[in-house]
Each structure stands twice: as structure tokens, then as C-alpha cells.
Amino acid sequence: MAAVFFAFRDAPERRAALRTPEALDRYRLFGLDEVRGRGAQVRHNLEREGLPPLWARTAAKAVNGLLRFGGGYGGDFASMLASLRTANAADLVFSTTDTVGIPVILLKRAGLLRPPLVYAAIGLPERLVQLRGVVMRRLYASALRRAHTIVAYAEREAEWLRKWLGPGAPPVVFLPFGVDLKAFAPEPERAPEADVVSVGADPRRDFDLLAAVAARHPELRFQIVATMDHVRSLGAPPPNVAIETDVPLERVRDRLAGARVVALPVRCNSYSGATTVLLQAMAMAKPIVVSRTEAIERGYGLEDGVNCRLVEPGDAEQFERALVETTTGADAAVSLGLRARQTVERDFSWSRYTDALWEILSAASSRGL
């Protein structure tokens, strides 16, 4: 039986998903269940409860310090060093985020990680542009070229990485993310509980823009589900804005189900288009107003006025106009939602994502999956 090692960013939500086989947010595991379901043995770097051992934390602190001093960018070396023996016993390593991916790829360049590596990039360009000096840029380019395959969830990010890596780069594959169509299904009989709902934990969310729109439309009820960091940056929201923080995905789904319109304003960037929440809301047949970031402008089948409303990032006036038109145009909004559901049914189901991921992992495995 082939073995796959998953490298995860450590987070309470991910550990909770790992502990709960039927958790709604098992998508945070990037297909681990489906890889195991196809007969592969699966291990990962979060099997240890609590902190990594002291030696790993000490070594990680030293390595990250050296990288920062030299103009580089570090990550979670501690959990990867502590799991290195397990990773080396696998036929393939799948690094799911850059927080662990950068340590993994540097360990591979140093000869400490042996199996083939599939590297998932989520905002890697934003990290690479922070590198200072020719030597450090060459180091990271050389390390990334040792991956068997690099996966990006945004077509623009994949293009950027191909250009940055240049000759000798491994395949950089655009892999659209997916959504569980059964878990996130329309509830057509449900009465709206808020006019506008916005959800997001990513630092690129532009809740300030949404709060400004809400202040100009006291007749509309807004619901924001965000992190405490977002809430602190907002200050005192307008009275027609209700805020919830750090809620479980089951409640997020409930809030989306009760929305007349879902609003997803995002600041300009290459990797975040509120993609996960966007697909979830589309699967629930919700009319959506979303920023046209590089992450989603191509590759996710979005068409302004057909299956969503697309607005340029940071354009508060355009976002406000699209939001008001969508909340007041009932028939048009219903049509947007229905076509949004059709789009994800056709091209962005979770099974479609995991099937494509399986093909990538199988091709990279040292002895086949």
C-alpha cells in the first residue's frame, strides 16, 4: 500500500477537523479523506498532541532566524523537523500550505527530505517578493525547482510562479478548489434573516469597505462573520451591522442560508478571492457580489451578471451599486443564484477537486498510488 504524508499548517480548526471524521470542515484537510479512501496509507505532521519537542523548536528558531537575517522567509520548521522520519517513510509528501511548504522545500533542497514532493501554493508570490537579495532569491528558486509538481488554486498565481521560476521549473498546475454540493445545498423555502451576509477569516477581506457601504444604507441589515482581528480593525460598526467572530462552519452555513445576498469584498492580491466561501455560497444558490481579484477572475467560471456580480477590488462605489441592485432586484438575484449553483455542479464539486488531486499525487508518487 502506497503512503502519502500530508504537511498541514497547525491551526485549532484543522486539529478539530482531524479529530472529527464527520466534521463539516474536513475540506481543511485538502482531500486527506479521499486519498485514504482510495487505499493509500495517510500520515501527517499534526499527529503529535501539543507542541513539537524542544529540540525541534530550538532548531526551528535558529533556522528561521538565519533566514530572516539573510533576507529570506521561514515557516513551521518545528513540526516538520519533528515529523521528518515519518515523512521520509512515505512514497510522497503533499505540502498543503506555504507555512509548512517553505520549510519542506528547503529541507528537500538540503537533502533531508527524500520522497517526491507536491507543493500547494496559497499566496506564495506575496512571500517570494519579500525575499531580499539575489542569493536568497536563487536559494528559494532552486528549492522550489526540486518539487515534483507545484499546485496553485488560482490560475494567475500559477502563471506568476511559472514566470518567476523560469527554465528548469517543475510543472505548475492550476487546480480549482471544490465544494461539497450536499453539505452546501440550496434552502429555497428559508426566509431571509439578513439582507447582506459576509464571511471570511483571510487578512485580505475588505470589511472596512463593506462597513462604509452599510453606513450609507441603514435600511439594509448586514451580518459579518469574521475573526477578532478583523473586528478590531473595524472599530465601531454602524448599528445595522451585526458581527460574529470565530464561529464553527455549521453556523457559517446557517448564516449563508439566511442571506438575501452574500457580499465578499477582497483587497487586491493574487491568491485570495474568498474562494472557499464563494463556492459555498454559489452551491447554496445565493446571489453574490464579489471582488474581481486575480485569484478568481479566471478559472472559476465567473461571469458578471450571469452567475455573480464582479466588482474591481477597492472600488467602493461600484461595490455599493452592485450590492444595492442585487438586494432590490429579486428576480435577477434568484437567477444569479440558480446559475451559480449550476456552475459549481458542473465544474467545482468536491469530488471533481479530489479526483484531479489524486491524479497529481499518483503521478508524483515514487511507486504509484
- 261 Cβ contact partners less than 8 Å away, ≥ 6 residues apart: 195, 196, 197, 286, 287, 288, 289, 323, 326, 327, 333
> What torsion, rounded to 10 degrees, do the Cα atoms 31, 34, 36, 38 define?
-140
pLDDT (0 to 100) of residue 369: 66
Is the confidence at residue 367, as pLDDT, over 70? Answer: no
Q: For the chain, how big is the Rg over CA atoms in Å? A: 21
Cell triple for 45? 505532521
- Sheet containing strand 194-199, strands side by side: 241-245, 222-226, 194-199, 259-264, 288-291, 309-311
The mean of the pLDDT values for the chain is: 93
Is the confidence at residue 232, as pLDDT, over 90? Answer: no
Cell triple for 78? 518545528
The band of 285, judged by pLDDT with boundaries at 50, 70 and 90, is very high
User: Tell me: the pLDDT tens digits for 15-30?
Assistant: 999 999 888 999 999 9
Average confidence (pLDDT) over 216-241: 90
pLDDT (0 to 100) of residue 368: 61
- 111 Cβ contact partners less than 8 Å away, ≥ 6 residues apart: none
Is the confidence at residue 131, as pLDDT, over 80? Answer: yes
Say if residue 136 is exposed, middle or buried (CB neighbours under 10 Å; 0-12, 13-18, 19+). Answer: middle
Is the confidence at residue 361, as pLDDT, over 90? Answer: yes
- 142 Cβ contact partners less than 8 Å away, ≥ 6 residues apart: 109
Average confidence (pLDDT) over 164-174: 94
The band of 246, judged by pLDDT with boundaries at 50, 70 and 90, is confident
Is the confidence at residue 272, as pLDDT, over 80? Answer: no
Is the confidence at residue 90, as pLDDT, over 80? Answer: yes
Domains delineated in the chain: 3-177+350-364 (3.40.50), 194-347 (3.40.50.2000)
User: Tell me: the pLDDT tens digits for 108-126?
Assistant: 999 999 999 999 999 999 9
Is the confidence at residue 229, as pLDDT, over 90? Answer: no
Cell triple for 118? 507536491
pLDDT (0 to 100) of residue 235: 78
The band of 231, judged by pLDDT with boundaries at 50, 70 and 90, is confident
Q: Are 347 and 220 in contact (CB under 8 A)?
A: no
Is the confidence at residue 248, as pLDDT, over 80? Answer: yes
